[in-house]
Structure 1
Protein backbone atom coordinates (compact mmCIF):
# COMPACT_ATOMS: atom_id res chain seq x y z
CA UNK A 1 0.00 0.00 0.00
CA UNK A 2 1.26 3.45 -0.86
CA UNK A 3 1.70 5.90 2.03
CA UNK A 4 -0.64 8.48 0.46
CA UNK A 5 -3.42 5.99 -0.35
CA UNK A 6 -6.88 7.06 0.76
CA UNK A 7 -8.94 4.59 -1.27
CA UNK A 8 -8.46 0.95 -2.32
CA UNK A 9 -9.48 0.17 -5.90
CA UNK A 10 -10.41 -3.48 -6.29
CA UNK A 11 -10.66 -5.55 -9.49
CA UNK A 12 -9.06 -2.87 -11.69
CA UNK A 13 -7.82 -3.53 -15.22
CA UNK A 14 -4.08 -3.98 -15.60
CA UNK A 15 -3.97 -0.73 -17.61
CA UNK A 16 -6.33 1.09 -15.23
CA UNK A 17 -6.57 4.88 -15.00
CA UNK A 18 -6.57 4.43 -11.21
CA UNK A 19 -2.86 3.60 -11.32
CA UNK A 20 -2.19 7.23 -12.25
CA UNK A 21 -4.04 8.56 -9.19
CA UNK A 22 -1.69 8.79 -6.16
CA UNK A 23 -4.51 8.49 -3.62
CA UNK A 24 -5.39 4.99 -4.88
CA UNK A 25 -4.08 1.62 -3.72
CA UNK A 26 -4.89 -0.46 -6.81
CA UNK A 27 -5.54 -4.21 -6.96
CA UNK A 28 -5.56 -5.58 -10.50
CA UNK A 29 -5.51 -9.22 -11.62
CA UNK A 30 -1.82 -9.55 -10.69
CA UNK A 31 -2.20 -8.06 -7.23
CA UNK A 32 -5.45 -9.98 -6.64
CA UNK A 33 -8.22 -8.13 -4.79
CA UNK A 34 -8.96 -11.32 -2.83
CA UNK A 35 -5.85 -10.50 -0.81
CA UNK A 36 -7.07 -7.03 0.23
CA UNK A 37 -6.90 -6.80 4.01
CA UNK A 38 -6.81 -3.07 4.57
CA UNK A 39 -9.18 -0.63 6.14
CA UNK A 40 -9.56 1.94 3.37
CA UNK A 41 -12.90 2.67 1.71
CA UNK A 42 -13.13 0.89 -1.63
CA UNK A 43 -14.01 1.45 -5.25
CA UNK A 44 -14.95 -2.00 -6.53
CA UNK A 45 -15.20 -3.03 -10.19
CA UNK A 46 -15.79 -6.80 -9.90
CA UNK A 47 -16.05 -8.70 -13.19
CA UNK A 48 -19.57 -8.42 -14.54
CA UNK A 49 -19.71 -11.00 -17.31
CA UNK A 50 -21.22 -13.67 -15.04
CA UNK A 51 -23.85 -11.22 -13.71
CA UNK A 52 -24.75 -8.94 -16.65
CA UNK A 53 -27.32 -9.14 -19.42
CA UNK A 54 -24.78 -10.64 -21.85
CA UNK A 55 -23.90 -13.47 -19.43
CA UNK A 56 -25.29 -16.12 -21.81
CA UNK A 57 -22.45 -15.29 -24.21
CA UNK A 58 -19.74 -15.03 -21.55
CA UNK A 59 -17.23 -17.61 -20.43
CA UNK A 60 -16.33 -16.54 -16.89
CA UNK A 61 -13.80 -18.42 -14.79
CA UNK A 62 -15.42 -20.83 -12.29
CA UNK A 63 -14.66 -18.54 -9.32
CA UNK A 64 -15.66 -15.28 -11.01
CA UNK A 65 -19.18 -14.96 -9.60
CA UNK A 66 -17.71 -15.03 -6.09
CA UNK A 67 -15.61 -11.95 -6.86
CA UNK A 68 -18.84 -9.95 -7.09
CA UNK A 69 -19.98 -11.31 -3.73
CA UNK A 70 -16.62 -10.44 -2.19
CA UNK A 71 -16.79 -6.90 -3.59
CA UNK A 72 -20.22 -6.38 -2.00
CA UNK A 73 -18.92 -7.64 1.37
CA UNK A 74 -15.90 -5.31 1.25
CA UNK A 75 -17.99 -2.26 0.33
CA UNK A 76 -20.34 -3.09 3.20
CA UNK A 77 -17.45 -3.53 5.64
CA UNK A 78 -15.22 -0.57 4.71
CA UNK A 79 -17.61 1.74 2.86
CA UNK A 80 -17.28 2.89 -0.68
CA UNK A 81 -18.86 2.21 -4.02
CA UNK A 82 -19.36 -0.82 -6.28
CA UNK A 83 -19.89 -0.29 -10.01
CA UNK A 84 -21.77 -2.79 -12.20
CA UNK A 85 -23.95 -2.72 -15.32
CA UNK A 86 -27.58 -1.72 -14.85
CA UNK A 87 -29.69 -4.83 -14.38
CA UNK A 88 -26.85 -6.85 -12.85
CA UNK A 89 -28.07 -10.04 -11.18
CA UNK A 90 -25.60 -9.31 -8.37
CA UNK A 91 -28.29 -7.00 -6.93
CA UNK A 92 -30.95 -9.64 -6.17
CA UNK A 93 -28.31 -12.27 -5.31
CA UNK A 94 -26.81 -10.02 -2.58
CA UNK A 95 -30.04 -8.24 -1.62
CA UNK A 96 -28.71 -4.88 -2.77
CA UNK A 97 -31.52 -2.33 -3.04
CA UNK A 98 -32.51 -1.39 -6.58
CA UNK A 99 -32.26 2.27 -7.63
CA UNK A 100 -34.92 4.25 -5.78
CA UNK A 101 -35.78 1.34 -3.45
CA UNK A 102 -34.35 2.75 -0.22
CA UNK A 103 -31.58 1.36 1.98
CA UNK A 104 -30.34 -2.04 3.03
CA UNK A 105 -29.20 -3.15 6.50
CA UNK A 106 -25.75 -1.56 5.91
CA UNK A 107 -27.26 1.79 4.90
CA UNK A 108 -26.34 1.09 1.29
CA UNK A 109 -28.31 2.49 -1.61
CA UNK A 110 -28.07 2.39 -5.41
CA UNK A 111 -27.58 5.23 -7.86
CA UNK A 112 -28.42 4.62 -11.51
CA UNK A 113 -26.50 6.77 -13.99
CA UNK A 114 -25.06 6.40 -17.49
CA UNK A 115 -21.29 6.50 -17.82
CA UNK A 116 -21.83 8.91 -20.72
CA UNK A 117 -22.12 11.62 -18.06
CA UNK A 118 -18.42 11.14 -17.29
CA UNK A 119 -17.22 11.03 -20.89
CA UNK A 120 -17.87 7.45 -22.03
CA UNK A 121 -18.51 7.13 -25.79
CA UNK A 122 -21.61 5.01 -25.20
CA UNK A 123 -24.54 5.45 -22.82
CA UNK A 124 -23.39 2.46 -20.71
CA UNK A 125 -26.19 2.33 -18.14
CA UNK A 126 -24.61 1.64 -14.76
CA UNK A 127 -25.60 1.02 -11.15
CA UNK A 128 -23.49 2.28 -8.27
CA UNK A 129 -23.99 0.66 -4.85
CA UNK A 130 -22.84 3.15 -2.20
CA UNK A 131 -22.31 2.41 1.51
CA UNK A 132 -21.22 5.06 4.02
CA UNK A 133 -22.50 8.27 2.45
CA UNK A 134 -25.88 9.92 2.05
CA UNK A 135 -27.13 10.80 -1.45
CA UNK A 136 -26.75 14.51 -0.63
CA UNK A 137 -23.11 13.92 0.35
CA UNK A 138 -21.81 12.48 -2.92
CA UNK A 139 -19.99 14.70 -5.43
CA UNK A 140 -22.13 16.55 -7.98
CA UNK A 141 -23.35 14.49 -10.92
CA UNK A 142 -22.20 15.85 -14.31
CA UNK A 143 -25.52 15.30 -16.09
CA UNK A 144 -25.17 15.24 -19.89
CA UNK A 145 -28.26 15.23 -22.08
CA UNK A 146 -28.57 13.85 -25.59
CA UNK A 147 -27.85 10.56 -27.28
CA UNK A 148 -24.47 8.85 -27.11
CA UNK A 149 -22.60 8.52 -30.41
CA UNK A 150 -21.88 4.81 -29.82
CA UNK A 151 -23.66 1.80 -28.33
CA UNK A 152 -22.39 -1.04 -26.15
CA UNK A 153 -24.37 -3.55 -28.18
CA UNK A 154 -27.63 -2.83 -29.89
CA UNK A 155 -30.54 -5.24 -30.23
CA UNK A 156 -32.39 -2.73 -32.41
CA UNK A 157 -32.09 -3.24 -36.14
CA UNK A 158 -32.71 0.43 -36.83
CA UNK A 159 -29.87 1.58 -34.54
CA UNK A 160 -26.83 1.93 -36.77
CA UNK A 161 -24.55 3.64 -34.27
CA UNK A 162 -21.16 1.94 -34.05
CA UNK A 163 -20.42 -0.47 -31.20
CA UNK A 164 -17.65 0.22 -28.71
CA UNK A 165 -14.80 -2.27 -28.39
CA UNK A 166 -14.40 -4.78 -25.56
CA UNK A 167 -11.60 -2.65 -24.08
CA UNK A 168 -13.87 0.42 -24.18
CA UNK A 169 -16.62 -1.58 -22.44
CA UNK A 170 -14.23 -2.52 -19.62
CA UNK A 171 -12.31 0.75 -19.18
CA UNK A 172 -13.41 3.40 -16.69
CA UNK A 173 -13.53 6.95 -18.09
CA UNK A 174 -10.97 9.15 -16.26
CA UNK A 175 -13.63 11.57 -14.99
CA UNK A 176 -15.71 8.67 -13.65
CA UNK A 177 -12.65 7.18 -11.92
CA UNK A 178 -11.96 10.48 -10.17
CA UNK A 179 -15.64 10.81 -9.21
CA UNK A 180 -15.75 7.27 -7.79
CA UNK A 181 -12.57 7.87 -5.78
CA UNK A 182 -14.15 11.00 -4.30
CA UNK A 183 -17.36 9.09 -3.48
CA UNK A 184 -15.33 6.40 -1.67
CA UNK A 185 -13.19 8.99 0.12
CA UNK A 186 -16.38 10.50 1.59
CA UNK A 187 -17.76 7.15 2.78
CA UNK A 188 -17.57 6.26 6.47
CA UNK A 189 -18.99 3.07 7.97
CA UNK A 190 -19.42 2.20 11.66
CA UNK A 191 -16.30 0.01 11.47
CA UNK A 192 -14.19 2.84 10.02
CA UNK A 193 -15.70 5.33 12.46
CA UNK A 194 -14.65 3.10 15.38
CA UNK A 195 -11.08 2.82 14.05
Structure 2
Protein backbone atom coordinates (compact mmCIF):
# COMPACT_ATOMS: atom_id res chain seq x y z
CA UNK A 1 0.00 0.00 0.00
CA UNK A 2 1.53 3.31 -1.07
CA UNK A 3 1.84 6.13 1.45
CA UNK A 4 -0.26 9.30 1.22
CA UNK A 5 0.27 12.48 3.22
CA UNK A 6 -2.80 14.17 4.69
CA UNK A 7 -1.94 17.83 5.24
CA UNK A 8 -3.63 20.34 7.57
CA UNK A 9 -6.00 17.86 9.21
CA UNK A 10 -7.79 18.26 12.53
CA UNK A 11 -6.30 16.86 15.73
CA UNK A 12 -9.21 14.37 15.83
CA UNK A 13 -9.07 13.66 12.10
CA UNK A 14 -10.32 10.40 10.59
CA UNK A 15 -7.11 10.30 8.52
CA UNK A 16 -5.11 9.39 11.63
CA UNK A 17 -6.95 6.06 11.87
CA UNK A 18 -6.43 5.14 8.21
CA UNK A 19 -3.61 2.76 7.21
CA UNK A 20 -0.81 4.13 5.08
CA UNK A 21 -1.56 7.77 5.93
CA UNK A 22 1.10 10.20 7.13
CA UNK A 23 -1.12 12.79 8.83
CA UNK A 24 -0.05 16.34 9.66
CA UNK A 25 -2.26 18.17 12.15
CA UNK A 26 -1.77 21.53 13.88
CA UNK A 27 0.72 20.10 16.37
CA UNK A 28 2.84 18.31 13.79
CA UNK A 29 2.91 21.26 11.34
CA UNK A 30 2.36 20.39 7.68
CA UNK A 31 5.12 22.83 6.69
CA UNK A 32 7.54 20.13 7.85
CA UNK A 33 6.28 17.75 5.13
CA UNK A 34 9.36 16.59 3.22
CA UNK A 35 7.55 15.27 0.15
CA UNK A 36 8.04 11.98 -1.62
CA UNK A 37 4.38 10.93 -1.72
CA UNK A 38 1.04 12.21 -3.08
CA UNK A 39 -1.01 14.41 -0.79
CA UNK A 40 -4.56 15.11 0.30
CA UNK A 41 -4.59 18.72 1.50
CA UNK A 42 -7.21 20.49 3.60
CA UNK A 43 -5.60 23.93 4.18
CA UNK A 44 -7.47 26.42 6.39
CA UNK A 45 -10.23 28.01 4.35
CA UNK A 46 -11.82 30.65 6.57
CA UNK A 47 -9.78 33.50 5.05
CA UNK A 48 -10.59 32.35 1.50
CA UNK A 49 -14.33 31.72 1.71
CA UNK A 50 -17.55 33.74 1.51
CA UNK A 51 -17.25 35.01 5.09
CA UNK A 52 -13.58 36.00 4.88
CA UNK A 53 -14.40 39.63 5.66
CA UNK A 54 -15.57 38.59 9.13
CA UNK A 55 -12.46 36.64 10.21
CA UNK A 56 -8.96 37.63 11.27
CA UNK A 57 -6.57 34.92 10.12
CA UNK A 58 -3.55 34.09 12.24
CA UNK A 59 -0.19 35.37 10.96
CA UNK A 60 0.88 33.21 8.03
CA UNK A 61 -2.43 31.34 7.88
CA UNK A 62 -3.22 32.32 4.30
CA UNK A 63 0.24 31.15 3.20
CA UNK A 64 -0.62 27.59 4.24
CA UNK A 65 -3.03 27.23 1.33
CA UNK A 66 -0.33 28.34 -1.10
CA UNK A 67 2.04 25.78 0.39
CA UNK A 68 -0.64 23.09 -0.07
CA UNK A 69 -1.11 24.05 -3.72
CA UNK A 70 2.64 23.73 -4.29
CA UNK A 71 2.71 20.24 -2.73
CA UNK A 72 -0.17 18.99 -4.87
CA UNK A 73 1.51 20.35 -7.99
CA UNK A 74 4.85 18.77 -7.12
CA UNK A 75 3.80 15.39 -5.74
CA UNK A 76 0.30 14.86 -7.14
CA UNK A 77 -2.92 14.41 -5.22
CA UNK A 78 -5.82 16.63 -4.25
CA UNK A 79 -6.61 19.88 -2.43
CA UNK A 80 -10.08 20.45 -0.97
CA UNK A 81 -11.66 23.88 -0.38
CA UNK A 82 -15.18 25.37 -0.36
CA UNK A 83 -16.75 25.93 -3.78
CA UNK A 84 -15.90 29.39 -5.05
CA UNK A 85 -12.86 29.76 -2.78
CA UNK A 86 -10.84 32.85 -3.65
CA UNK A 87 -7.74 30.65 -3.43
CA UNK A 88 -8.48 29.62 -7.03
CA UNK A 89 -7.87 33.11 -8.41
CA UNK A 90 -4.98 33.87 -6.05
CA UNK A 91 -3.08 30.67 -6.89
CA UNK A 92 -4.03 30.50 -10.56
CA UNK A 93 -5.99 27.29 -10.09
CA UNK A 94 -8.23 26.24 -13.00
CA UNK A 95 -11.98 26.73 -12.82
CA UNK A 96 -14.10 23.61 -13.34
CA UNK A 97 -13.80 22.58 -16.98
CA UNK A 98 -10.33 24.10 -17.40
CA UNK A 99 -6.72 22.90 -17.03
CA UNK A 100 -3.56 24.57 -15.77
CA UNK A 101 0.08 24.22 -16.85
CA UNK A 102 0.63 21.49 -14.24
CA UNK A 103 -2.08 19.28 -15.74
CA UNK A 104 -4.29 20.15 -12.80
CA UNK A 105 -8.06 20.40 -12.98
CA UNK A 106 -10.93 21.10 -10.62
CA UNK A 107 -13.71 18.71 -9.66
CA UNK A 108 -16.85 20.25 -8.11
CA UNK A 109 -18.66 17.94 -5.66
CA UNK A 110 -21.34 17.96 -3.00
CA UNK A 111 -20.09 16.34 0.19
CA UNK A 112 -23.61 15.05 0.88
CA UNK A 113 -22.90 12.32 -1.70
CA UNK A 114 -20.34 10.94 0.78
CA UNK A 115 -22.60 11.18 3.81
CA UNK A 116 -22.45 14.80 4.97
CA UNK A 117 -25.83 15.94 6.30
CA UNK A 118 -25.52 19.22 4.35
CA UNK A 119 -24.72 19.55 0.64
CA UNK A 120 -21.47 21.43 1.42
CA UNK A 121 -20.45 22.38 -2.15
CA UNK A 122 -16.72 21.76 -2.50
CA UNK A 123 -14.03 22.17 -5.14
CA UNK A 124 -11.18 19.66 -5.40
CA UNK A 125 -7.99 20.61 -7.25
CA UNK A 126 -6.41 17.45 -8.66
CA UNK A 127 -2.98 16.82 -10.22
CA UNK A 128 -1.74 13.46 -11.46
CA UNK A 129 -4.90 11.66 -12.59
CA UNK A 130 -7.30 12.12 -15.48
CA UNK A 131 -11.05 12.61 -14.95
CA UNK A 132 -11.83 9.24 -16.52
CA UNK A 133 -9.54 7.47 -14.03
CA UNK A 134 -11.17 8.74 -10.84
CA UNK A 135 -12.30 6.21 -8.23
CA UNK A 136 -16.02 5.44 -8.48
CA UNK A 137 -18.07 8.34 -7.15
CA UNK A 138 -21.31 7.89 -5.19
CA UNK A 139 -24.58 9.34 -6.46
CA UNK A 140 -27.03 10.89 -4.06
CA UNK A 141 -30.36 12.28 -5.21
CA UNK A 142 -32.72 14.51 -3.29
CA UNK A 143 -32.33 17.40 -0.89
CA UNK A 144 -29.98 17.20 2.08
CA UNK A 145 -31.52 17.27 5.55
CA UNK A 146 -29.34 20.10 6.86
CA UNK A 147 -27.50 23.22 5.68
CA UNK A 148 -24.10 24.71 6.48
CA UNK A 149 -25.65 28.12 7.15
CA UNK A 150 -29.32 28.94 7.20
CA UNK A 151 -30.47 31.26 4.43
CA UNK A 152 -32.38 34.15 5.96
CA UNK A 153 -34.32 35.54 3.01
CA UNK A 154 -35.89 34.44 -0.24
CA UNK A 155 -35.10 36.07 -3.56
CA UNK A 156 -38.18 38.27 -3.14
CA UNK A 157 -36.83 39.58 0.16
CA UNK A 158 -39.26 37.79 2.48
CA UNK A 159 -37.89 36.07 5.58
CA UNK A 160 -37.43 32.30 5.87
CA UNK A 161 -38.57 31.07 9.26
CA UNK A 162 -38.49 27.73 11.06
CA UNK A 163 -41.42 25.66 9.86
CA UNK A 164 -41.32 27.04 6.31
CA UNK A 165 -40.76 24.53 3.52
CA UNK A 166 -37.36 26.05 2.69
CA UNK A 167 -36.07 25.95 6.27
CA UNK A 168 -33.55 23.28 7.27
CA UNK A 169 -31.46 23.04 10.46
CA UNK A 170 -27.79 23.96 10.42
CA UNK A 171 -25.05 21.41 11.06
CA UNK A 172 -22.78 21.83 14.06
CA UNK A 173 -19.45 23.67 13.88
CA UNK A 174 -17.63 20.33 14.13
CA UNK A 175 -19.67 18.94 11.21
CA UNK A 176 -18.78 21.98 9.13
CA UNK A 177 -15.09 21.25 9.67
CA UNK A 178 -14.98 17.44 9.53
CA UNK A 179 -14.50 15.52 6.30
CA UNK A 180 -16.95 12.59 6.07
CA UNK A 181 -15.11 9.29 6.53
CA UNK A 182 -16.28 8.05 3.12
CA UNK A 183 -14.97 11.19 1.41
CA UNK A 184 -11.63 10.97 3.22
CA UNK A 185 -11.25 7.36 2.03
CA UNK A 186 -12.18 8.38 -1.52
CA UNK A 187 -9.65 11.21 -1.54
CA UNK A 188 -6.94 8.83 -0.32
CA UNK A 189 -7.84 6.35 -3.07
CA UNK A 190 -7.63 9.21 -5.57
CA UNK A 191 -4.23 10.32 -4.26
CA UNK A 192 -2.86 6.78 -4.48
CA UNK A 193 -3.75 6.74 -8.17
CA UNK A 194 -1.83 9.97 -8.77
CA UNK A 195 1.66 9.47 -10.07
CA UNK A 196 4.42 11.74 -8.89
CA UNK A 197 4.19 14.76 -11.14
CA UNK A 198 7.92 14.94 -11.86
CA UNK A 199 7.94 11.30 -12.98
CA UNK A 200 4.84 11.78 -15.13
CA UNK A 201 6.41 14.74 -16.92
CA UNK A 202 9.60 12.81 -17.59
CA UNK A 203 7.76 9.82 -19.10
Q: Same fold (TM over 0.5)?
A: yes
Q: 1:67 is matched with which residue?
A: 64
Q: Does structure 1 residue 37 correspond to structure 2 residue 44? A: no
Q: 2:96 is matched with which residue?
A: 99
Using the TM superposition, give the Cα deviation of residue 42 of structure 1 relative to its aligned residue in structure 2, in angstroms.
Answer: 0.1
8 Å CA contact retained: 1:10, 1:43 = yes
Using the TM superposition, give the Cα deviation of residue 59 of structure 1 relative to its aligned residue in structure 2, in angstroms.
Answer: 2.5
8 Å CA contact retained: 1:131, 1:189 = no
8 Å CA contact retained: 2:4, 2:20 = yes
SS in structure 1 at match of 2:6: strand
CA 1:182–1:88 in structure 2 vs 1: closer, same or farther (change >3 Å)? same
Q: CA offsets per residue over residues 96-150 of structure 1, 9 Å max, x none?
A: 01111x2100000000010000000100000000000000111111010111100
Of residues 25, 43, 48, the one that matches 1:46 is 43
SS in structure 1 at match of 2:93: coil
CA distance in 2, matches of 1:192, 1:127: 26
Q: 2:116 is matched with which residue?
A: 120
CA distance in 1, matches of 2:108, 2:96: 6
SS in structure 2 at match of 1:68: helix
The CA RMSD measured in Å over matched residues stands at: 1.5
More displaced stretch, 159-168 vs 6-15: 159-168
Unpaired stretches in structure 1, ≥5 consecutive residues: none
CA distance in 2, matches of 1:103, 1:151: 31
After TM superposition, the runs of 4+ consecutive aligned structure 1 residues lying more than 3 A away are none
Q: 2:106 is matched with which residue?
A: 110
> How does the TM-score come out when normalised to structure 1?
0.94
SS in structure 2 at match of 1:113: strand
Q: How many residues align?
A: 191
SS in structure 2 at match of 1:150: coil
Larger Rg: 2
Q: CA offsets per residue over residues 56-113 of structure 1, 9 Å max, x none?
A: 222321211100100000000000000000000000001101111x210000000001
